[in-house]
Amino acid sequence: MKKVLIVLLTLVAFTSCKNEAKTETPTIGADGIEKTNKQNDGLTLLSGEFSYYKDAAVLQVGNSSIYGVVLNEKMHELHNMGKPYRKEATDGVIVQIRGKIIPKAEGEEGWPNNIDIKEIISVKEPTVKNEVIKIGK
């Protein structure tokens, strides 16, 4: 009887152990807000319309913020991922990316801020179709 009781207690003890999932532990940032390790890497999450044409790339976030995009391997990867959604070379696609915001250097032409893309999260077709009247070809 004691052996059965010991076996049952052992069985219950092993089955009641739970497998803990590994989670990111939050840390307190310089601004006093809890942040995960991914949020502490200095990258910014941006969503907007990405356009690339003839060695110029921009990311328009909302109606007022426009960022120049650093021309690098990730930018070309993003451009290639958006090709199925474009009808013309100048069409933009909706993207969600993480990158480093770089202020424009003094005396340099371009947008006030540039974004150096580090991670591509998603690429989608624009939901709103722009109706443009074209004259001639």
Reference 115, options 64, 62, 74, 54; nearest CA is 74
- CB 118 within 8 Å of CB 75: no
CATH of the domain at 93: 2.40.50.140
Distance CA 23, CA 123 (A): 27
Residue 1 included in any domain: no
pLDDT of 32 reads 47
Residue 52's pLDDT is what?
Answer: 92
Give how many domains the chain has, as a whole number: 1
Domain hosting residue 59, numbered range: 43-124
> What is the pLDDT at residue 40?
66
Residues of the chain with pLDDT under 50: 31-33
pLDDT value for 54 = 86
**Over 30-85, what HEC string results?**
CCCCEECCCHHHCCEEEEEEEEECCCCEEEEECCCEEEEECCCHHHHHHHHHHHHH
pTM given for the model? 0.64
- Does some domain include residue 21? no
pLDDT of residue 14: 67
pLDDT at 73: 94
The verdict on residue 4 lying in a domain is no
- Residue 73 is assigned to a structural domain of this protein: yes
